[in-house]
Amino acid sequence: MNSGISNSIGISKNIGILGAGQLGRMLALAGYPLGNRFTFLDTTGNPSAGIGEVIVDPDNQRLAEFLDKVDVVTYEFEHLPVELVKQIEQHKPVYPGSRAIAVCQNRVEEKALFDRLSIPTPAYRVVESAEQLEAAAAELGCPVVAKSVTEGYDGKGQAVLKAPEQAREAWEAIGHRQLIVEAFVDFVREVSMIAVRGRDGEVVFYPMAENQHVDGILRYSVAPLPDLDASVQQTADSYMRALLDELDYVGVLALELFQTRDGGLLANEMAPRVHNSGHWTMDGAVTSQFENHLRAVQGLPLGSTEAIAPTCMVNVIGREGDNAALLALGHAHLHRYDKQERPGRKLAHVNVVAANHAELIEKVRACLALIPDAPPVAWSFSN
């Protein structure tokens, strides 16, 4: 049968990944069972994937060699030069495409896209001087959050202003030419959506996850949510579909949102790649976000996104936990990234799976006792 032949060709592809960190590593781990091979292009000089073939290319000399080896290109990091991605698109298919990268690496473009698609966001202004920042803070009403338009992630390049008079200090601390200033949202919880679009336009959605950040860095994600109104999930799904279709997107897209007291959702930011808040899917969903991303970029059928059980993803940051004791818990799946310990560095995550949410809370507590510097969980539904 023709379709069988094309599928078997699709499945033996060599996947090129721009970036060679833990997200690339987990993509490869999901792709080997599909018969994929992996070639990474690392421009940092400091790859950590520890798997597949890694081309270390800090001086941008080895792109042709990388392109020769791969059938299709994807990435695990969106802060790539758009020109580089466009150049690669001349030679090999790149999913998601350069337009998605251009939008997601620039907060002004991202907000403009949300506005165009009628996806609500916190009230915001774009400013280009300390004076404009002060005026925007006064107009929006403090507190406000100022964020660099480019290069921000994990809460970097951001400052909260409690009063407009803090504008100059914040402007200098962030040190960028253009900032987005947002009203500070009094959210009930932070949530995220992970959705996948195939090359044929098929879209699948994972259940919404609740995320707990500390100092701008994700610590815990839990899904599915026990108290989620079906209409809220549907609204989030409709936002995702609008974004995916508008960008003619292929692969996994992550969208972080704030849920407000009235049940409304405000979009914060999106990432055109597999996402930390989707790591729970490795053990808690029928098909992981990593496998589904690989299926999408190869034009293969997408797998079920259904949750198997309530799951909590616990990030291990800076220092490793007592790994033998974690494994002895029996309900904790440890995913280590084979990295050296360093303050603030994501080293591993643990997926804790339980039969119900009450049990999950207890099991997560036992897990956190074995992880250094783990902040207390504060889920919206456990109070």
Q: How far is the CB of 380 from ligand AMP (least distance, A)?
A: 13
What's at 148, amino acid-wise? Answer: S
Interface with ligand AMP: number of residues (CB under 6 A): 14
- Contact by Cβ (8 Å): 159, 174: yes
Q: How far is the CB of 194 from ligand AMP (least distance, A)?
A: 15
Tell me the C-alpha distance between 59 and 61, whole Å: 6
Tell me the C-alpha distance between 140 and 162, whole Å: 12
Q: What DSSP designation does 256 have?
A: E
Nearest one of 78, 75, 70 to 53, comparing CA atoms: 70
Nearest to ligand AMP of 147, 346 (CB atom): 147
Containing 323, the helix (H) or strand (E) segment is helix 323-328
Among 113, 145, 252, 347, binds ligand AMP (CB under 6 A): 145
Tell me the C-alpha distance between 18 and 20, whole Å: 7
Which residues, other chains included, contact 376 with Cβ-Cβ below 8 Å and sequence gap of 6+? 368
141 binding ligand AMP? (CB under 6 A): no
221 binding ligand AMP? (CB under 6 A): no
Q: Supply the Cα-derived Rg of the chain in whole angstroms.
A: 21
Mask for 173-202, x = binds ligand AMP (CB under 6 A): ---------x-xx----x------------
Instruction: Locate 239 and state its tokens.
Output: 């936002």
Tell me the C-alpha distance between 8 and 12, whole Å: 7
Among 78, 256, 283, 291, binds ligand AMP (CB under 6 A): 256
Mask for 93-132, x = binds ligand AMP (CB under 6 A): -----------------------------x----------
Q: How far is the CB of 160 from ligand AMP (least distance, A)?
A: 8
Please report, as residue ranges, which positions from 262 to 321 form the binding site for ligand AMP (by CB under 6 A): 268-269
Which residues, other chains included, contact 36 with Cβ-Cβ below 8 Å and sequence gap of 6+? 11, 12, 13, 14, 15, 28, 294, 298
Nearest to ligand AMP of 152, 251 (CB atom): 152
Nearest to ligand AMP of 40, 220 (CB atom): 220
Other beta carbons within 10 angstroms of residue 334's beta carbon come to: 18
Q: How far is the CB of 212 from ligand AMP (least distance, A)?
A: 9
Other beta carbons within 10 angstroms of residue 351's beta carbon come to: 21
Nearest to ligand AMP of 216, 375 (CB atom): 216
Cis amide linkage into residue 224, ω under 30° from 0: yes
Q: How far is the CB of 256 from ligand AMP (least distance, A)?
A: 6
Coil, helix or strand at residue 215: coil
Among 93, 97, 152, 207, binds ligand AMP (CB under 6 A): 152
Q: How far is the CB of 287 from ligand AMP (least distance, A)?
A: 26
Q: What DSSP designation does 352 have?
A: E
213 binding ligand AMP? (CB under 6 A): yes
Nearest to ligand AMP of 147, 293 (CB atom): 147
Instruction: Locate 297 and state its tokens.
Output: 């970029």
Q: How far is the CB of 154 from ligand AMP (least distance, A)?
A: 7
Instruction: Locate 55 and state its tokens.
Output: 């081309």
Q: How far is the CB of 297 from ligand AMP (least distance, A)?
A: 25
Interacting residue ranges for ligand AMP, rule: CB under 6 A: 122, 145, 147, 152, 155, 182, 184-185, 190, 213, 216, 256, 268-269
